[in-house]
Structures are given as structure tokens and as C-alpha cells.
Amino acid sequence: MKVVILFDGVCNLCNGVVQFLIKRDSGDHFRFAALQSDFGERVTSQLDQHDLDSIIVMTNGKMYTKSSGALQIVKKMDGAWKYLYVLRAIPKPIRDRLYDIIAHNRHKIFGRRDSCMMPTPDLKRKFLQ
């Protein structure tokens, strides 16, 4: 089963994270979709408004947002990255507060694009429409 990651397609930080994950996904665990894509909009239409400024991770029939979503990603990563999953020991309100600070300021700090990233033909299979 693939881990589906929905991300802000116009956010430079988010696009950088997606590129980072693609380069390290030797086990082919991840599939990606921009929140702004048709797939992303179908998923977000089912969520509360406060979850929309967050990464959304879908795995094993469940949806995870904010720090819980990020932890689901590192849990499936290859190599030593998966050991970051021990951060789940930090109480969720503290993890999510830190996540919210970064998410709220990501466009100011990292910038934004005018449009969503277009995957190369080689990577197109990893992106959901």
C-alpha cells in the first residue's frame, strides 16, 4: 500500500520536501498530489477548514495532518530517516504548535510559486491527478 502525500503545490518548502522524498524513495512507498489538484480538492472537501494549511498523509485507510502526517512519512522512509519517528514521544499539542508556526510562515520564509510543480515524464507515475 502506498502512502499518499498531499502538499501545497505552490509552496517552495513543500515542493522541496517532495523532491527530497522522491530522491530517497528507493522503496517506492510514496505517491504525491498537490492540494490544488483535482484529487487534492476531492480529499480536502471532506476535511475541516483548519486542516487545509497542513500536509495531509493518507495511509492504511487513515488520514493524518500536521506533525502526525510528517511522522507517518518518516516512518516509511528508507535508511536512518525512519528513526525520526521517535519524535512521536513529544506530546501532539507541542508537535502541532511547532508545525503550525512553520506552516503559517512558510510562504514568507521560503517563498511561493505562481503555479504547481509539473512532474517530469519519469516522475509522473508518482503523482496523482
91: pLDDT strictly greater than 80: yes
Q: pTM surpassing 0.75?
A: yes
Count of structural domains, the chain: 1
Residue type for position 41 = E
Query: At 124, is the pLDDT very low, low, confident or very high (cuts 50, 70, 90)?
Result: confident
Q: How many Cβ atoms from other residues are within 10 Å of residue 58's Cβ?
A: 19
pLDDT of residue 51: 57
Residues 6+ apart with CB under 8 A from 75: 82, 85
72 assigned to some structural domain: yes
Does any domain span residue 18? yes
Phi/psi at 58 (nearest 5 deg)? -115, 125
Q: Is residue 65 part of a domain?
A: yes
Name the H helices within 25-124. 38-44, 66-76, 92-110
Percent pLDDT > 90 in the chain is: 56
Confidence grade of residue 100 (pLDDT, cut at 50, 70, 90): very high
Is residue 127 domain-resident? no
If we measure between CA atoms, which residue out of 30, 21, 46 comes closest to residue 127? 30
Residue 74 lies inside a defined structural domain of this protein: yes
Rounded distance, CA 4 to CA 2, Å? 6
The residue among 114 and 84 whose pLDDT is bigger is: 84
Say if 129 falls within a structural domain: no
- Expressed as residue numbers, the domain containing 11 is 3-122
Per the listing, cell 498531499 goes with: 6
pLDDT of 46 above 90: no
Domain presence at residue 13: yes
The torsion angles phi and psi of 114, rounded to 5 degrees, stand at -80, -25
- Region 70-88 average pLDDT: 95
